[in-house]
Amino acid sequence: MKNERRGILIILSSPSGAGKSSIARLLMEWDKNIVFSISSTTRDPRPGEKDGREYNFTSMNDFKNLVESGNMLEHAEVFGNMYGSPIKPVQEAINQGHDVLFDIDWQGGQQINNSALRDDVISFFILPPSLAVLEQRLLTRAQDSSQVVQERMKESEAEISHWGEYQYVLVNDNLQDSGDAIKNILIAERMKRRRQPKLVQHVRNLQKEYAEYKKSNK
């Protein structure tokens, strides 16, 4: 039977440096049916980032207009910058059977879980193995100044306090193992009956075949 199902919303959250972005890349390489939700943000692009690929970089005024018009599925302020997910492309993707991946903080996760799309959500919180490892990862990626790294370390305690709001929680001490664990969970979640609307008709067709089979074998 052809796989026809409604897409799901995959939420990955963690403190900065715990590995959610790296895991997101692994998932999209694994399954081309997973599409990345490109967030809008008011922050400046980092080296190597391209508008429309990692983020849609926008002005504060344009961002506020999207929020006020109800066109954001979720939005939050993080380190003085605004981040948000436009709702229209998300709805279109899941209606076409694509899974939409969100690399967002706990504030965004809460808003999606309280939205009309909450029944489509599978949420993961990624924990670091230790604070020392978290700090080392932030320093190694060399994307932020030492001052920003320290701010992210201070903020991480509050972010981690929200781990209990997520359906699945992983300690990311090995990137490949964490990615494999999430893949296995997604495979199982996709197989749930409520996510396969064509199953009812498929079973009805089987029942008709059984009836014909019994008639022909009397």
Taking Cα atoms as reference points, which of 99, 101, 67 lies closest to residue 83?
67
Tokens of 161: 């306090």
Q: How many domains does the chain have?
A: 1
Read off the CATH number of the domain in which 133 is found: 3.40.50.300
C-alpha 135/C-alpha 144 separation (Å) is 12
Tokens of 169: 């929680």
Is 68 among the domain residues? Answer: no
Q: Is the pLDDT of residue 2 over 60?
A: no
Please write the tens of the pLDDT for every residue from 147-169. 888 888 988 999 999 999 999 99
Is 67 among the domain residues? Answer: no
Other CB atoms within 10 Å distance of the CB of residue 60? 10
Task: Give the domain range for residue 159.
Answer: 9-37+97-216
Question: For residue 82, what pLDDT is reported?
Answer: 93
Please write the tens of the pLDDT for every residue from 36-69. 998 899 999 988 898 888 889 999 999 999 899 9
Strand (E) or helix (H) holding 215: helix 199-216
Is 61 among the domain residues? Answer: no
Taking Cα atoms as reference points, which of 96, 98, 68 lies closest to residue 82?
68
Tokens of 134: 């978290």
Taking Cα atoms as reference points, which of 95, 120, 86 lies closest to residue 194?
120
Is 131 among the domain residues? Answer: yes
Strands 39-41 and 81-86: antiparallel
pTM of the model: 0.82
Tokens of 29: 């390489």
Is 46 among the domain residues? Answer: no
C-alpha 22/C-alpha 17 separation (Å) is 10
Is 149 among the domain residues? Answer: yes
